[in-house]
């Protein structure tokens, strides 16, 4: 059994939750959004379009 690390490694590929773009590791330009306890990653272009929605959601749901 190889279950030493409970967290996924950084070498894991990221898939954009919006457009499906795949990247190696986690590019610094990508945005990670935690929604309902699940991490979602968005590529650079999607993050730009999504940042308002993410912030808007935080504003409306967190406060």
* 16 vs 33 by CB, closer to Zn ion: 16
Binding positions for Zn ion, 1-60, rule CB under 5 A: 16, 18-19, 21, 43, 46
- Residue 15 parent element (H or E): strand 14-15
CA gap 59, 43 in Å, rounded: 22
Least separation, in Å, of the C-beta of 21 and Zn ion?
5
Q: Which two three-digit tokens encode residue 29?
A: 């330009």
Least separation, in Å, of the C-beta of 20 and Zn ion?
7
Residues that bind Zn ion (CB under 5 A): 16, 18-19, 21, 43, 46
């Amino acid at each position: 059994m190889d279950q030493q690390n409970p967290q996924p490694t950084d070498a894991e590929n990221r898939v954009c939750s919006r457009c499906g773009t795949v990247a190696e590791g986690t590019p610094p330009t990508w945005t990670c959004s935690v929604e309902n306890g699940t991490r979602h990653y968005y590529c650079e272009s999607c993050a730009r379009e999504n940042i308002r929605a993410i912030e808007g959601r935080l504003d409306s749901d967190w406060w």
